Amino acid sequence: MDISNWTTTLSTIGLATLSYLSYKLTRQASIYLLPSKLQRYNTSNKNWALVTGATDGIGFGFCQELCSRGFNVILHGRNREKLVQRATELNTAFPERKTGIVVLDAVGMNDGVDDIAEQVRDIIGNEGQGQGRLSVLVNNVGGEKRPSVTLGTLKYADVDATIDKNARFMAQITRVLLPLLSEGQGRSGLILNVSSLSQYGLPYICIYSATKGFVDSFTKALEAECSAERCGVEVMGLRVGEVKSAGYDVESTLFVPLARTLAKAALDRVGCGKVIVWAYFWHWLQGLSFEVMPRWVLMHATIGRMMAIKKRGEEKAFKRQ
């Protein structure tokens, strides 16, 4: 092959690669313009959604957004008083919607989690004839109580608490509620699992990071299983970057949305055709860097961020003394 043919071949390959990448990126970006298909899970306008970790942050944002879109909501949490208070707030803001509460600590849970199915049936059944059914489960509870520390400094109970809160509880409550979600006709139920940017494997939050990897794998596996079994339940994983919430008290910016903004974006993605999706457009852009940048650059930036979080936590603790 002479030099001019060689140059032409390389240019063609380069152009084809560029066109393919542009096509892929445009396709990925276009999902942020698609209309949400959430309403297919509430055709009667009487259906119920259960949100775990619902008393604050993104979980409460989901409750507000689901109520505003016509769902009745069951709030799950560990603190009965706070759950009642949040349910009352929802009843005031959305008087036409109904609420219920389920109390269970996600950490150290035992087979008491099996009772949740009965509790849900009681809440929905108590509403009388013509009531809706449970059609949405949002597995939101999670977080890391001790971020920015090395694995070796954690205690046995710290590790277990993070695994319970972010992984075990989600697996157990999904097992318990799946039969209820698949009770209707056709596409009867939706499961949304909240994941995180940290599923890429981030330092100083090793256990939390690993649990979010679990969330992604669990989501993909369950989605394939539900499709194979035709159980009528759609399963989606929601990747999330930084969000201002009760548990992550940072300044809100374009790249750090408020909890309700994130919840709204997440519900807008329902039916977009992807099993794992970045809920919020600007987080998707951030996530792209994890696909294309060298890992050492990303880890350098992440370590800087982790140290800043650690310093802020220490300053807050000092002020409280």
Ligand X SMILES: NC(=O)c1ccc[n+]([C@@H]2O[C@H](COP(=O)([O-])OP(=O)(O)OC[C@H]3O[C@@H](n4cnc5c(N)ncnc54)[C@H](OP(=O)(O)O)[C@@H]3O)[C@@H](O)[C@H]2O)c1
Which residue from 225, 62, 41 is spatially nearest to 142, judged by alpha carbons? Answer: 62
Q: Which of 31, 84, 107, 303 binds ligand X (CB under 6 A)?
A: 107
User: CB-wise, 52 or 72, nearer to ligand X?
Assistant: 52
Helix (H) or strand (E) holding 137: strand 134-139
x-or-dash string of contact with ligand X, 262-301, rule CB under 6 A: ----------------------------------------
DSSP class of 195? -
Could you give the 3-state DSSP secondary structure of residue 181?
helix
Which residue from 235, 95, 94 is spatially nearest to 175, judged by alpha carbons? Answer: 235
Interaction between residue 105 and ligand X (CB under 6 A): yes
34: CB partners within 8 A, 6+ apart:
271, 272
Which residue from 212, 244, 238, 198 is spatially nearest to 36, judged by alpha carbons? Answer: 238
Q: Which stretch binds ligand X (CB under 6 A): 78-86, 217-225, 273-281, 294-302?
A: 78-86
Establish whether 208 is a catalytic residue. yes
Count of residues that bind ligand X according to CB under 6 A:
29
* AA identity, residue 70: G
CB atoms near residue 93 (< 10 Å): 12
Interaction between residue 237 and ligand X (CB under 6 A): no
Q: Which of 32, 208, 248, 280 is catalytic?
A: 208
Structural tokens at position 287: 């996530």
* Residue numbers 121-140 binding ligand X by CB under 6 A: 140
User: CB-wise, 135 or 140, nearer to ligand X?
Assistant: 140
Interaction between residue 56 and ligand X (CB under 6 A): yes
- Which spans of this chain sit near ligand X (rule: CB under 6 A)? 53-59, 77-79, 82, 105-107, 140-143, 165, 194, 196, 240, 242-243, 245-248, 259
Q: Give the residue numbers annotated as catalytic, written as ranges.
A: 208
